[in-house]
Amino acid sequence: MNKEIETIPTEIQEETQEEELSIRDLPGVGPATAEKLEESGFDTLIAIAVASPSSLAEASGVSDTVARKIIQFARGKQSMGFESGLDMLKKREKVIKITTGSNAFNELIGGGMESGSITECYGAYGSGKTALAHQLAISAQLPREEGGADGAVVWIDTEGTFRPERIQQMAEKMEMDSEKLLGNIKVVRAFNSDHQMLLAEKVEDLIKDKIPVKLVIIDSLMSHFRSEFIGRGTLANRQQKLNKHMHVLLKLAHTYNVAVYVTNQVMAKPDTFFGDPTEAIGGHIVAHASTTRLYLRRGRKGSRVAKLVDSPNLPDGECMFYITDKGIKDDV
């Protein structure tokens, strides 16, 4: 016998939730401690509720015992983010799809680069990863009805790959204002992995300063980590730092509905006898944190091929695109 499932009205759900407090209302948190917590990114009750005692103690200067009490109190006042499937469906309506410039590419990834998640593109040099980044830096500024996000872009450059001349060239071909486009791209060079991690954390400050960041680009994600941590003896430390970095990006994407696009380097697997021996570096940490994973490679007659390797809701597939004066296109 079929039974109709009754959905609990949102009004009733809201009435059952505790009244939200600020971090200054927490026991043991005075003005000075609150200021330290806010400077370290613990500016909401949920951020404190999911923190570890050691990280909270280090950020605020309180003892581990006090930190535990603060966390327990914060957890007691939080619903811890449980939402119904209906609430999640409504949230998905707010997801922004940023066009790649290619209809085939857009179709492959479900309409465009998705906000609220991390998209990883990996491939050998010359496969089109940075070209796609330049395209997205322009697309993100377009109105939403034209496949954009109507926002600003942050480009964390680890390899010196950002080229304003390329933005200018594409803008002129598309009859767009290059100065306006370049003015909305905030570029910063990261000189080591610690600097890169710090810059990712500082993006939240830009958003709080009313800069409408809708796309964060990291080109490339693993460059510094790969050069600084050499040998198997350093692998555990590298992966631990990388894990923290990816979770900062995930939180940024989820909290502010930002699209995060990261490019990644590859390595060859000599024990692969059949198929493509190319594999992304970064291991399972990067693979699991990335919502969508794309493998780019060179195709025939100057084309590029994008292969959808992993997605939570889309089937595997491939498409072909071209890098032109106007950006990423379906044909030359």
- Tell me the CA distances in angstroms from 188 to 73, 191, 216, 243, one per residue in order: 39, 10, 11, 22
Identify which has the larger pLDDT, 58 or 278: 58
The pLDDT score that the predictor gives to residue 180 is 96
Look up the CATH number of domain 10-76: 1.10.150.20
d(CA 109, CA 99): 10
Percent helix, strand and coil across the chain, each to the nearest 5: 45, 20, 35
d(CA 291, CA 120): 8
Average pLDDT value for the chain = 89
Look up the CATH number of domain 90-329: 3.40.50.300
The pLDDT score that the predictor gives to residue 288 is 92
Identify which has the larger pLDDT, 80 or 284: 284
pLDDT in tens, 230-253: 888 888 899 999 999 999 999 999
The pLDDT score that the predictor gives to residue 80 is 57
Domain ranges of the chain: 10-76, 90-329
The DSSP symbol for 233 reads G
Q: What is the mean pLDDT of residues 38-48?
A: 82
The tokens for 181 are 């486009």
- Give the CB-side neighbour count of residue 10, counting CA atoms within 13 A: 6
Q: What is the mean pLDDT of residues 29-43?
A: 86
Q: First and final CA of the chain: distance in angstroms?
A: 59
pLDDT in tens, 242-285: 999 999 999 999 999 999 999 999 987 666 555 566 789 888 99
- How many angstroms separate the most distant Cα atoms in the chain? 66
Task: Residue 212: name the closest of 167, 168, 154, 260 by CA.
Answer: 154
The tokens for 72 are 């327990």
Q: What is the mean pLDDT of residues 212-232?
A: 94
Residue 39 — very low, low, confident or very high, per pLDDT cuts 50/70/90?
A: confident
Residue 7 — very low, low, confident or very high, per pLDDT cuts 50/70/90?
A: very low
41-45, 86-90, 192-196, 198-202: least confidently modelled range: 41-45
Helix, strand or coil, per DSSP, at residue 121: strand
Task: Residue 58: name the closest of 77, 76, 41, 72 by CA.
Answer: 41
For 21-124, list the strands marked E by DSSP: 97-98, 113-114, 117-122
